[in-house]
Amino acid sequence: MERVEKNMVIGQLLQADPGFAPILMESGMHCLGCPSSQMESLSDACMVHGIDSDTLVGKLNSYLDSKK
């Protein structure tokens, strides 16, 4: 995976790299195992949880950059 985008589905992100899970949980998304979260876009989940999507996408992409 090159970059994370706000429109990506959480389930696909977690399948691509399980290392995203701790970052999502630290940001306040504690329901990653919930079936509905697996089909929810990152931006929709951020809106529901009151999380700034740009900040979270930045953290996820920083994680990807650190793996290079």
pTM exceeds cut of 0.75: yes
Question: Mind listing the pLDDT tens digit for each residue in 47-68?
Answer: 988 999 999 999 999 999 999 8
pLDDT of the residue at 5: 97
Q: Which residues of 30-41 are buried (b: 16+ CB within 10 A; e: fewer)?
A: ebbeeeebeebb
pLDDT of the residue at 60: 97
Domain ranges of the chain: 10-66
Whether 16 contacts 37, CB under 8 Å: no
Question: Mind listing the pLDDT tens digit for each residue in 1-57?
Answer: 899 999 999 989 999 999 999 999 999 887 777 777 778 899 999 998 899 999 999
The secondary structure of 36-63 as a DSSP string is: GGGGSBHHHHHHHHT--HHHHHHHHHHH
For the domain 10-66, what is the CATH code? 1.10.3910.10
